[in-house]
Amino acid sequence: MRATTTRPIQWIKAALKAFEAFPEGSKLEGLRALTIAAEGSKADIAKPLKGFDGGVMEIVLKHRGDAFRVVYAVQIADAVWVIHAFQKKSTEGIKTPKHEIDLVHDRLKRLKEMLT
> Rounded to 5 degrees, what are φ and ψ at 94?
-85, -5
CA dist 79 and 88 (Å) reads: 26
Of all residues in the chain, what percent carry a pLDDT higher than 90?
68
CATH code assigned to 9-115:
3.30.2310.20
**42-98 per-position pLDDT tens digit:** 999 999 998 888 789 999 999 888 999 999 998 888 899 999 999 987 655 667 888
Give the residue from 113, 6, 16 showing the smallest Cα distance to 70. Answer: 16
